[in-house]
Structure 1
Amino acid sequence: MNENYSSLLGYLQKKKIKRILLISFEDAEIVKKLKENFSGELKVLNKTDFVGTGLKEIIQKTRSSKYDLVVVSNINSQVNRSKTSIKILTILSKSFKSFVYFDEKNLLKTNKIKLLLDLCPKLLIGILFSIYILIKTYLYFYLIYPFAGENEQKRKNQNRLILYLRTDLAGKIIAGGSITHIRGFIDGAKKLDFETIYVADYPLINHPISIVVKPNPLLDFFDEIQMMDYHFRLIKKLRKCLKGIQIGIIYQRHSIFNASGVILSKILQVPSILEVNNSEVWAKKNWSRLIFENLATRIEKFAFEKADIISVVSEVTKDQIIEIGANEKKIVVNPNGVDPAKFSPDINGNEIRIKYKLDEFFVVGFIGTFSRWHGVETLFDAAVIVLSKNDKIRFLLIGDGNLKSNLELKTEQLNLKDKIIFTGIVPHDKAPEYLAACDILVSPHLGFETGERFFGSPTKLFEYMAMGKPIIASELEQIGKIIKNEFNGLKFKPGNSQELSELILRLYEDRELCKRLGQQAREDVIKNFTWEKNARRVLERIYNF
Structure 2
Amino acid sequence: MDTVNAAVRVRKVLYHHRTQGKAVEGVHIRGITDALRAEGVEVEVISLPGADPYASPGAMSPTRQARPWMKLVTRLPEPLFELAELGYNLVAGWRVAAWLRRNPDVDFIYERYSLFMYATVWLARRRGIPVILEVNDSAIVERVRPLSLKRLAMAVERRAFRDADGLVFVSGVFRDRARAAHPDMAPAIVTPNAANIAKFSFSAAQRAETRERLALEGHVVCGYLGAFVPWHAIDAFVHRIAGRLAGVPRLKLLLVGDGATYAPLRAFVEERGLSGQVVLTGRVAHDEVPGLLAAMDMAILPSAGDYTSPVKLFEFMACAVPPVAPDFEPIREVLEEGETGWMFPAGRLDAAVDAVIARSRDPDGLARVGANARRRVAERHQWRNNILQLVDFHHRLQADGVRT
Instruction: Report the TM-score when normalising by structure 2.
Output: 0.83
Please report how far the alpha carbon of residue 534 of structure 1 lies from its aligned counterpart in structure 2 after TM superposition: 1.0
| Higher RCO structure, 1 or 2 (CA under 8 Å, sep 6+) | 2
Equivalent residue runs for 1:161-176 within 5 Å: 161-168=12-19, 170=20, 173=22, 175=23
Q: Which amino acid aligns with 1:442?
A: I
**1:68-121 CA distances to partner (integer Å, 9 max, x unpaired)?**
xxxxxxxxxxxxxxxxxxxxxxxxxxxxxxxxxxxxxxxxxxxxxxxxxxxxxx
Cα distance, 1:350–1:316 mapped onto 2, change above 3 Å: same
Q: CA deviation at 1:406?
A: 2.5
Alignment of 1:19-30 (within 5 A): none
- The residue that corresponds to 1:392 in the other structure is 250
- Rounded to whole Å, the distance in 2 between the matches of 1:230 and 1:340 is 36
Shift of 1:338: 0.8
Q: Which residue of 1 aligns with 2:95?
A: 237
Do residues 187 (structure 1) and 21 (structure 2) align? Answer: no
Distance of aligned partners of 1:372 and 1:282 in 2 relative to their CA distance in 1, 3 Å threshold: farther
Residues 219 and 204 of structure 1: is their aligned pair in 2 closer, same or farther, counting only changes over 3 Å?
closer
Which residue identity lines up with residue 504 of structure 1 in the other structure?
V
Is 2:331 the counterpart of 1:482?
A: no
After superposition, residues 161-310 of structure 1 pair within 5 angstroms as: 161-168=12-19, 170=20, 173=22, 175=23, 177-201=24-48, 202-205=51-54, 221=76, 222-245=80-103, 246-279=105-138, 281-283=139-141, 286-310=143-167
Could you tell me how far apart the structure 1 residues matched to 2:331 and 2:91 are? Answer: 38
Match of 2:61 in 1: none
1:261 and 1:274 in contact (8 A); partners too:
no
Q: Indicate if the aligned counterparts of 1:378 and 1:495 stay in contact, CA closer than 8 A.
A: no
Q: Does the CA-based 8 Å contact 1:381-1:497 persist in structure 2?
A: no
Q: 1:383–1:395: 8 Å Cα contact kept in structure 2?
A: no
Deviation string, structure 1 residues 507-528 (Cα, Å, up to 9, x no partner): 3332221121111111112221
Equivalent position of 1:343 in the other structure: 200
Alignment of 1:56-67 (within 5 A): none
The superposition leaves residues 399-437 of structure 1 with CA deviations (integer Å, 9 ceiling, x where unpaired) of 223322332222122111342122224454542222111
| Alignment of 1:376 onto 2:227 | no
Q: Does 1:424 align with 2:277?
A: no
Unaligned runs of 5+ in 2: 1-7, 57-67, 397-404
The alignment partner of 1:445 has SS state of: coil
SS at match of 1:282: coil
Q: For residues 218 and 378 of structure 1, do their structure 2 counterparts lie closer, same or farther at Cα, with a shift above 3 Å needed?
A: closer
**Contact kept in structure 2, 1:345 and 1:466, CA below 8 Å:** no
Decide whether aligned partners of structure 1 residues 426 and 537 sit closer, same or farther in structure 2, where only a CA change above 3 A counts.
farther
SS in 2 for 1:468: coil
Q: 2:16 is paired with a residue of what secondary structure? A: strand
* Correspondence for 1:44: none
Distance in structure 1 (CA, Å) of the matches to 2:310 and 2:185: 23
1:216-247 deviations in Å (ceiling 9; x for gaps):
99978432222122111121123224433232
Q: 2: distance between equivalents of 1:490 and 1:218?
A: 41
Q: Are residues 446 and 184 of structure 1, via their aligned partners in 2, closer, same or farther at CA, if it must alter by over 3 Å?
A: closer
Contact 1:440 1:469 in 2 (8 A): yes
RMSD between aligned residues: 2.8
Q: Is the 8 A contact 2:231 2:303 kept in 1?
A: yes
Contact map agreement 2:31 2:383 (CA 8 A) in 1:
yes
Secondary structure at the aligned position of 2:198 is classed as coil
1:490/1:263 Cα in 2 relative to 1: closer, same or farther (>3 Å)?
Answer: same
Per-residue Cα deviation, 1:123-170 (whole angstroms, up to 9, x for no partner)? xxxxxxxxxxxxxxxxxxxxxxxxxxxxxxxxxx955211111114x2
Contact 1:435 1:467 in 2 (8 A): yes
What is the CA-CA distance between 1:490 and the residue it aligns to?
2.3
Letter in 1 for 2:112: R
Structure 1 position 382, deviation (Å) = 4.7
Whole-Å separation in 1 of the counterparts to 2:164 and 2:35: 22
Match in the other structure for 1:322: 179
What amino acid sits opposite 2:187 in the alignment? K
CA distance in 2, matches of 1:425, 1:535: 31
- The aligned residue for residue 366 of structure 1 is 224
Residue among 395, 400, 403 paired with 1:543: 395
Gaps of 5+ in 1: 1-156, 208-213, 448-453
Q: CA deviation at 1:529?
A: 1.0
Question: How do 1:56-205 and structure 2 match up within 5 A?
Answer: 158-168=9-19, 170=20, 173=22, 175=23, 177-201=24-48, 202-205=51-54
- Residue identity opposite 1:268 in structure 2: R
Report the counterpart of residue 404 of structure 1 in structure 2: 262
Amino acid at match of 1:380: V
SS at match of 1:274: strand
Which structure has the larger Rg?
1
The alpha carbon displacement at 1:446 in A equals: 5.1
How far did 1:357 drift?
A: 2.9
Q: Are the equivalent residues in 2 in contact too, given 1:472–1:492 (CA < 8 A)?
A: yes
Judging changes above 3 Å, is the alpha-carbon distance between structure 1 residues 265 and 350 closer, same or farther for their aligned structure 2 residues?
A: farther
Deviations 1:410-467 (A, max 9, x none): 21221113421222244545422221111211222256xxxxxx10111111111111
Distance of 1:318 and 1:237 partners within structure 2: 29
- Asked if the contact 2:140/2:178 (under 8 Å) is kept, the reply is no
Alignment partners' CA distance in 2, 1:316 and 1:433: 34
Would you say the 8 A contact 1:385–1:501 is kept in 2? no
Relative to structure 1, the CA distance from residue 506 to residue 294 in structure 2 (aligned partners, 3 Å threshold; closer, same or farther) is closer
* Structure 1 Cα separation of the partners of residues 107 and 384 of structure 2: 18
Residue 506 (1) aligns with residue 358 (2): yes
Cα distance in 2 for residues equivalent to 1:360 and 1:311: 44
Partners in 1 of 2:143 and 2:320 — Cα distance?
A: 36
**Greater shift after overlay, 232-241 or 311-320?**
232-241
Identity fraction in percent: 27
